[in-house]
A = this chain, B = another copy of it.
Amino acid sequence: MADVTDEQILNEEPKRTRQGTQRVTLESVARLAGVAPTTVSRALNYPDKVAKKTLDRINQVIEQTGYVPNMLAGGLASNKSRLVAVIVPSLVNIVYAETVQHFAKPMKEAGYEVLQGEVGYSLEEEERLVTAVLSRRPDGIFLTGIQHSNNCRRQLLAADIPIVETWDITPTPLDIVVGFSQRSVGRKTAEYFYDKGYRKFAIVSAEDQRAQIRNDSFKKVLFDRGIVDVPTSFVSGISNLQLGRQGAAKLLDAGLHGHLVFCSSDTLAHGVLTEVQARGLVVPDDIAIVGFGDQNFAAHTYPALSTVRIDRATMGRQAANSLLARLGGVPVEHKMLDVGFEIMERDTA
């Protein structure tokens, strides 16, 4: 055994007990370009710190060999992954997808990749995904909502990275929050249409937490004005046109007439509209409808959908701005950014 050890010591070559990938590495590029690995690394990360001639030679080798840097190694060495994690309730819910898209664009332009994960509306799922995602050492994280399990909060805080919470607002965010008050949406919407003269109301809603908050504050306003009965139809699963029709059908079958139906999304509202029309009723005379979100189809349904406009582009963009500021070491001016909302009165209510 001693012999082996001696051999190793005497041997110039490393022991090579393991096999790496056979791909071209920074080192092989360096060899081919006749420079030190450091120089190649610099050529990649700080091109202007390398002599033009050297740079050209290196780039040529990179081109020829098809070298692709290994960011796992780079990230480990630099303690930066250039990855931001995004956690949304659903990948196929277009309102979240749009927010993420507007978030992802500036992040990508700044050199970050987006790792997206979906968690439904369950806090436990969120906790699991957060753990999984933190093991990738993201440089920052985008969260949907402000409700998280205690364990989840602890992990997030321990990770010590910038965090943006979105789609709600709170004076005490984990780090930064960019959103709007769900409570205000419910309240203002109820007040607005009550003041317009409506006295009968109903709700078609998905079962998510944020919708519940809107519903509750909506009903609270009505209750305070003496309206205690607000027929509510819950649908479960990802909202779609069909669920909207089903939700409306239940209500209509129960004899709804002259009500304003407040929906938890434009998609559900579109379904309600379709069902009402399919029954030969007239909107808004027989049934009035208000959606939520102002998705881009809302202004183009027939009749055009009244709804609550949420500026998803601004929300996404601002979330990115704040995160990028923190990532760049710039102190963020506002820990809390309220992007507000706007009631869009169109033709269905």
Q: List residues of A whose CB falls within 8 A of some B CB.
A: 20-21, 23, 66, 68-73, 75-76, 79, 81, 83, 91-92, 94, 97-98, 100-101, 104, 113-118, 131-137, 154-155, 158-160, 240-242, 245, 271, 274, 277-278, 296-297, 299-302
Quick check: A296 and B242 within 8 Å, CB to CB?
yes
Chain B's closest residue to A130 (CB) is B68
Instruction: Sample 10 A-B pairs with CB under 8 A, ordered by A number.
Output: A68-B135, A69-B135, A72-B76, A76-B76, A91-B100, A115-B115, A241-B297, A241-B300, A271-B297, A271-B300
A97 contacts which chain B residues (CB < 8 A)?
91-92, 94, 97
Compute how far the CA of A25 lies from the CA of B132 in the bound complex, rounded to whole angstroms: 16
Q: Which of B70, B79, B92, B98 is close to A135, meaning CB atoms less than 8 Å apart?
A: B70
Bound CA span A81–B302, Å: 49
> Complex: how many Å from CA A159 to CA B297?
41
Residues of B close to A92: CB separation below 8 A = 94, 97-98, 101
Q: Pick the contact of A66: B21, B83, B155 (CB < 8 A).
A: B155
Tell me the nearest residue of chain B to A157, going by C-beta. Answer: B66
Q: Which residue of B lies closest to A271 (CB)?
A: B300
Whether A300 touches B242, Cβ cut-off 8 Å, given contacts A92-B94, A98-B92, A113-B133, is yes
Which residues on the B side are within 8 Å of A72 (C-beta)?
72, 75-76, 81, 136-137
One complex includes copies of this chain to the number of 2
* Distance of A106 Cα from B262 Cα, bound (Å): 36
Point out the residue from B70, B100, B132, B297 that lies within 8 Å of A240, measured CB to CB.
B297
State whether A66 touches B154 (Cβ < 8 A): yes
B-chain residues with CB within 8 Å of residue A133 when the two chains form the complex? 113
- Given known A97-B91, A115-B115, contact A136–B71 (CB-CB < 8 A): yes
Contact of A245 among B75, B158, B300 (CB under 8 A): B300
Is B104 a contact partner of A91 (Cβ separation < 8 A)?
yes
Residue of B20, B68, B242, B300 touching A79 (CB-CB under 8 A): B20
Instruction: Check B296–A240 contact: CB distance below 8 A.
Output: yes
- In the complex, what residues of B have CB within 8 A of residue A79's CB? 20-21
**Which one of B23, B118, B160, B241 lies within 8 Å of A158 (CB-CB)?**
B23
Docked-complex contact A113 and B104, CB < 8 angstroms: no
User: From A86, which residue of chain B is reached at the shortest CB distance?
Assistant: B116
- Which interface residue of A20, A91, A160, A277 has the most chain B CB atoms within 10 A? A91
A277 and B302 in contact (CB under 8 A), knowing A68-B131, A92-B97, A114-B116? yes
* Nearest CB of chain B from residue A287's CB, rounded to whole Å: 15
One of B91, B116, B137 near A71 (C-beta < 8 A): B137
Contact B154 A132 (CB under 8 A): no
A246 nearest in chain B by CB position: B300
Residues of chain B contacted by A301 (CB below 8 angstroms):
241, 274
Contact yes or no, A299 B91, CB < 8 A: no
Instruction: Decide: B300 and A68 in contact? CB cutoff 8 A.
Output: no
Q: Nearest residue in B to A100 (C-beta to C-beta)?
A: B91
Distance in Å: Cβ of A94 to nearest Cβ of chain B:
6
Given A70-B137, A242-B299: 6 more A-B contacts, CB < 8 Å: A66-B154, A68-B131, A68-B159, A76-B76, A115-B115, A116-B116
